[in-house]
């Protein structure tokens, strides 16, 4: 009975006016006070919630308090004055996130693309046999290049381009390769090459090398096996039956070698003729054979694995020939066929740039891309093109969605034999106007297969052409010695099978005013030194503030700064015999001009309606010092072959002016927004 009474008392307390606290004590003093007898059963004391007969809590009249249960919290959270601010804050947060994402995407779209290593600085091309001899045998070598890396870095070069050094029988300037995976002993060993690659990379430089996949030497193992029809090598080269009469070969057609005469030569072992686009010691590979393409891919992979950063592919337009072997058309149709012996006397529609050639080049690109996946290790691909039409040259850039070369090497300036503003204007505008959108230009004024700049134009143009080279948009390429103004040598007398005309620009590098110009300590060197080495050499150029026959150190530093600047547009004028080249620096909104003039000239500002302030500052020039008295308020006086760079302050971007709207070449670089504080391409 006592237990039953206790249960009834407990039930009575829970139904007759007990207070529900839910674990939160509002005021301990109130717990000692009796409830007010006059209050109703469902009233709340000190925030307590009564219990209705239905068992559901009644929250009407309840005010929010700390520690309230979730039922009470949900009751208040659904009210408009709490719900609306919460929803507004939520959607504001969502909108802010979306806006930030949109701004980020927009900035990415309009921001300039970061330049890759092959775009950031000049390339320095080296003919290794003539650069530096380290073992006193009279021939330049790989160790010699390594010894002179510090000098190359002073030129601000970012990339070293070394021409062919493969094992060779020395035909056609080492381009008849006996083994593509061996170093010719003249240049050193494979260990020397590996050390050179490591030293180049330690200097923060990159290395590209020559590769001519079109042909090999007739001493190559592949050719020897092909002559005997051994296994897969039987069709590694282009063989065809030909007729022999009285010891004379009658070729299958009239195709000619680049060096003249028939491009077919009879082989006594195989009793067939093999095809060669160059000398008879350089048989052409058969690129219609998949096994040959696989071999070339393996060679590319071999050198990439050695750490090479890129290739210059040469003679690629000769990779394929027409299958039908029909005669090529004569330029002069009235000429007797038997007298057609020179390469220029035929249209080479069946032996160059055949259908499928670009597919092979694209396969080279794909192989190199496999080694470009590692961040910072992009592999560069350049194509050396023989003089041909500008539209064909531009095809080597590839198609919008199919990449080939990063750029075909631009050798058009090296083909000029006389210099004038008109000719320079035509060469530069031709490249810039035909280059596919978004691609990168490059410029070179010399090379191993062209005459030296000094010998073509005269010494007075050396400085101004180097100034032009380093201030054009794109990558400048300097052939060793051009920075000094080295000239051609006289034709040497050698016992080797060389085209003497292309030897003239390959004389040894002139390092100092001493025996053999510091190139070698040998008693005999492979080519003679140019006679001007006493005054044109690296040592004297470094000592003198200005070398009249070269580029002074100060000016080289200025050109380096100018090249490193972010240029947005370039505008080219052609006026009489003057060549005026204008660039805008989008970061500082300043104008820089280069003037190349053929004769003593007064350049008048007002003649060129650029709306620029007449007042300007000379940034750098080609003379010892540009005399202030030669620069007046309205004109600048210049002598033959002089050039300078001026800076004009301007508030309005030049390409926004009507006068120059259609004469701008816009590069993929940036302008600066002072409002947003970002670089952008929407100039």
pLDDT in tens, 437-470: 889 999 999 999 899 999 998 888 888 888 888 8
**Residue 417's pLDDT is what?**
83
123 pLDDT exceeds 70?
yes
What was the pLDDT predicted at 467? 84
Residues 235-282 have pLDDT tens digits of 999 999 998 888 888 999 999 999 999 999 999 999 999 999 999 999
Strand 206-211 to strand 264-267: parallel, antiparallel, or no bridges (unpaired)? Answer: unpaired
Contacts 24+ apart (CB under 8 A), 355-359: 355/320, 356/320, 357/316, 357/317, 357/319, 357/320, 358/395, 358/396, 358/404
pLDDT of residue 557 exceeding 70: no
Q: Which of 16-30, 318-332, 575-589 has the lowest mean pLDDT?
A: 16-30
Residues 6+ apart with CB under 8 A from 280: 218, 257, 265
The single-letter DSSP state of residue 171 is T
Place 595 in a pLDDT band, splitting at 50, 70 and 90. low
Q: Is the pLDDT of residue 382 over 50?
A: yes
For 557, the token pair is 């530093």
Rounded-to-integer distance, Cα 508 and Cα 531, Å: 11
132-136, 425-429, 648-652: which range is least confident on average?
648-652
**How far apart (Å, rounded) are the C-alpha atoms in residues 421 and 339?**
40
Distance CA 293, CA 310 (A): 19
Q: What residues contact residue 117 under an 8 Å CB cut-off, 6+ apart?
A: 158, 159, 206, 309, 378, 380
**Closest C-alpha among 341, 320, 335, 176 to residue 258:** 341
pLDDT, the chain, mean: 80
Taking the C-alpha atoms of residue 437 and residue 666, their distance in angstroms, rounded to an integer, is 10
pLDDT at 79 over 60: yes
CA nearest neighbour of 647 among 663, 660, 631, 659? 631
Specify the 3-state DSSP secondary structure of 619.
Answer: strand
Q: Which of 353-362, 437-446, 493-502, 522-531 has the lowest mean pLDDT?
A: 493-502
**Res 174: pLDDT:** 62
DSSP 440-503: --EEES--TTS--HHHHH-GGGHHHHHHHHHHSSSEEEEETTTTTT--PPPPP--SS---GGGT
Give the confidence band of 108 by pLDDT, cuts at 50, 70, 90.
Answer: confident
* Cβ burial, residue 364 (10 Å; 0-12/13-18/19+): buried
What's 19's DSSP letter? Answer: P
Per-residue confidence (pLDDT) for residue 175, from 0 to 100 = 80
Contact 614, 634 (CB under 8 A): yes
């Amino acid at each position: 009975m006592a237990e039953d009474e206790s249960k009834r008392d407990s039930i009575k307390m829970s139904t007759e006016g007990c207070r529900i606290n839910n674990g939160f004590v509002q005021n301990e003093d109130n717990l000692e006070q009796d409830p007010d007898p006059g209050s109703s059963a469902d009233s709340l004391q000190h925030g307590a919630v009564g219990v209705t007969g239905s068992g559901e809590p009644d929250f009407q009249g309840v005010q929010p308090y700390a520690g309230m249960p979730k039922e009470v919290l949900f009751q208040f959270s659904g009210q408009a004055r709490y719900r609306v601010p919460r929803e507004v804050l939520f959607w504001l947060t969502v909108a802010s996130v979306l806006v930030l994402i949109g701004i980020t995407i927009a900035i990415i779209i309009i921001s300039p693309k970061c330049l890759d290593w092959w775009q950031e600085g000049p390339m320095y091309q080296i003919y290794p046999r003539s650069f530096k001899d380290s073992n006193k045998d009279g021939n330049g070598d790989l160790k010699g290049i390594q010894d002179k890396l510090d000098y190359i870095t002073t030129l601000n070069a970012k990339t070293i381009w070394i021409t062919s050094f493969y094992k060779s029988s020395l035909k056609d300037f080492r381009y008849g390769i006996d083994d593509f995976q061996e170093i010719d002993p003249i240049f050193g060993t494979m260990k020397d090459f590996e050390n050179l690659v490591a030293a180049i990379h330690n200097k923060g430089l990159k290395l590209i090398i020559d590769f001519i996949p079109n042909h090999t030497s007739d001493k190559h193992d592949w050719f020897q096996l092909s002559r005997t029809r051994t296994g897969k090598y039987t069709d590694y080269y282009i063989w065809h039956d030909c007729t022999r009469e009285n010891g004379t070969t009658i070729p299958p057609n009239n195709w000619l070698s680049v060096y003249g005469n028939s491009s077919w030569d009879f082989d006594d072992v195989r009793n067939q003729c093999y095809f060669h686009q160059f000398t008879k010691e350089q048989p052409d590979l058969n690129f219609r054979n998949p096994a040959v393409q696989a071999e070339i891919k393996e060679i590319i992979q071999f050198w990439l694995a050695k750490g090479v950063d890129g290739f210059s592919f040469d003679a690629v337009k000769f990779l394929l020939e027409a299958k039908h072997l029909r005669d090529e058309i004569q330029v002069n149709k009235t000429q007797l066929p038997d007298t057609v012996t020179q390469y220029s006397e035929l249209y080479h529609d069946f032996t160059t740039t055949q259908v499928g050639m670009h597919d092979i080049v694209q396969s080279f690109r794909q192989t190199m891309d496999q080694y470009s996946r590692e961040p910072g290790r992009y592999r560069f691909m350049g194509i050396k093109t023989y003089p041909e039409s500008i539209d064909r040259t531009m095809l080597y850039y590839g198609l919008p969605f199919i990449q080939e070369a990063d750029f075909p090497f631009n050798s058009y300036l090296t083909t000029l034999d006389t210099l004038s503003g008109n000719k320079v204007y035509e060469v530069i505008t031709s490249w810039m106007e035909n280059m596919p959108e978004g691609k990168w230009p490059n410029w070179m004024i010399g090379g191993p297969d062209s005459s030296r700049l000094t010998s073509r134009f005269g010494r007075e143009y050396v400085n101004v052409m180097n100034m032009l080279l380093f201030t054009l948009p794109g990558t400048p390429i300097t052939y060793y010695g051009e920075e000094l103004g080295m000239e051609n040598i006289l034709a040497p007398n050698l016992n080797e099978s060389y085209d003497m005309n292309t030897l003239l620009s390959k004389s040894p590098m002139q390092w100092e005013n001493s025996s053999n110009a510091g190139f070698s300590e040998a008693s005999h060197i492979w080519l003679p030194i140019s006679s001007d080495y006493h005054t044109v050499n690296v040592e004297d150029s470094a000592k003198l503030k200005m070398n009249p026959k070269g580029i002074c150190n100060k000016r080289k530093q200025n050109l380096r700064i100018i090249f490193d600047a972010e240029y947005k547009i370039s505008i080219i004028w052609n006026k009489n015999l003057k060549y005026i080249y204008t660039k805008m620096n989008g970061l500082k909104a300043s104008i820089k001009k280069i003037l190349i003039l053929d004769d003593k000239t007064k350049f008048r500002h007002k003649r060129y309606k650029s709306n620029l302030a007449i007042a300007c500052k000379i940034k750098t020039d080609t003379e010892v010092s540009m005399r202030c008295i030669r620069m007046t308020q309205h004109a600048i006086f210049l002598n033959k072959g002089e050039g300078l760079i001026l800076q004009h302050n301007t508030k309005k971007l030049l390409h926004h002016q009507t006068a120059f709207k259609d004469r701008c070449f816009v590069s993929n670089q940036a302008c600066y927004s002072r409002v947003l504080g970002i670089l952008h391409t929407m100039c």
